[in-house]
Amino acid sequence: MSVAYRPSHADATYDMKYGVRSVQGGGRSSARETIGRVAAGAVAKKILKLYAGTEVLAYVSQVYKVVLPEVVVDHDSLSLDQIESNIVRCPDPEYAEKMIAAIDAVRVKGDSVGGVVTCIGLGSPVFDKLEAELAKAAMSLPATKGFEFGSGFAGTFLSGSEHNDEFYTNEHGRIRTRTNRSGGIQGGISNGEIINLRIAFKPTSTIGRKQHTVTRDKKETELIARGRHDPCVVPRAVPMVEAMVALVLMDQLMAQYSQSYLFPINSDLQEPLAIPRLEAAKASV
């Protein structure tokens, strides 16, 4: 591994771009880098809960060919305890067992697998360009290959009349949607339904099986990676995903204050409220 590039690992592109090799632990491309994000995300999660009543929860919804059916998880009642009750961070114990077995099966073969993390945000923030910021945040995590929210890629197989989320007014007079194919976001703005998104993680690139590759000086060779390499990163990605989603929501909450709360609108007249200065004065006391 000290001379051969690991196929589909970042070590080759880092070397090509920066001319520097850092074999130990993956160097700067190591997922260890996300520790700072998770720490900051923990603060953001507390603030979101306290100031906006928003909770962020992520869980593993697929490992290799074990796919957790959507109906199995009730997003309204899902809790952190449920997710953290097993090592693969899957809220359903039965599927958690299957996922653990799937990982064990590839581990003994020196191989690896990927999967999907689903993340939900409960509550009612109202933001701008939310899906683009969430996509960038999610895709900045190592090993990610895809991002979708709401109906995602599957939604492209539905017609508009099958896909649209019809509105109704609930018993508290609040406008809601009967379905949530929008994933809680319409036109870049959250609509108060649960924000749900799915992120694809590829199988770990460093594996214990023989692969063809090249060395730094372009000689062809073969590589069998030694050492403790995780055969499935997906359970460890769960807190990273929560952190990134919380950080995006936190930024958007701050933007909401400096935009919509600074310049409140009289919704009936569709014009600025006439008395904001008093509000500002009061808020500054």
Find the binding residues for a second copy in span 104-133 (CB under 8 A): 106, 111-116, 124, 126-129, 131-133
Q: Which is nearer to a second copy, 85 or 266 (CB)?
A: 266
Residue with tokens 């850092």: 22
Does residue 164 interact with a second copy by CB under 8 A? yes
- How far apart, in Å, are the Cα atoms of 252 and each of 49, 131, 134, 171, 265? 14, 11, 11, 29, 19
Report the nearest approach of a second copy to the CB of residue 29 (Å).
4
Q: Spell out, one character per residue from 197 to 216, where the chain touches a second copy: x when CB under 8 A holds, - when not.
A: -x-xxxxxxxx-x-xxxx--
Q: Which is nearer to a second copy, 11 or 85 (CB)?
A: 11
Q: Which is nearer to a second copy, 85 or 148 (CB)?
A: 148
Residue 222: helix, strand or coil by DSSP? strand
- How far apart, in Å, are the Cα atoms of 222 and each of 54, 59, 202, 203, 272? 50, 36, 22, 20, 68
Does residue 151 interact with a second copy by CB under 8 A? yes
Strand partners, 272: 265
Report the nearest approach of a second copy to the CB of residue 91 (Å).
18
CA distance 174 to 196: 20
Report the nearest approach of a second copy to the CB of residue 202 (Å).
5
Closest CA to 232 of 210, 211, 202, 198: 202
Q: Which is nearer to a second copy, 218 or 228 (CB)?
A: 218
User: How many residues lie near a second copy (CB under 8 A)?
Assistant: 126
Report the nearest approach of a second copy to the CB of residue 6 (Å).
8
The dihedrals phi and psi of 19, each to the nearest 5 degrees, come to 70, 20
Q: Which is nearer to a second copy, 203 or 239 (CB)?
A: 203
Report the nearest approach of a second copy to the CB of residue 100 (Å).
16
Handedness of CA 8, 9, 10, 11 (dihedral sign): negative
Does residue 193 interact with a second copy by CB under 8 A? no
Q: Which is nearer to a second copy, 85 or 107 (CB)?
A: 107
Residues 239-268 that bind a second copy (CB under 8 A): 253-267
**C-beta separation of 2 from 216 below 8 A:** no
Residues 25-64 that bind a second copy (CB under 8 A): 29, 47, 50-53, 62, 64
Q: Spell out, one character per residue from 57 to 86, where the chain touches a second copy: x when CB under 8 A holds, - when not.
A: -----x-xx---------------------
Q: Which residues contact 166 (CB under 8 A, 6 or more apart)?
A: 177, 178, 179
CA distance 178 to 193: 10
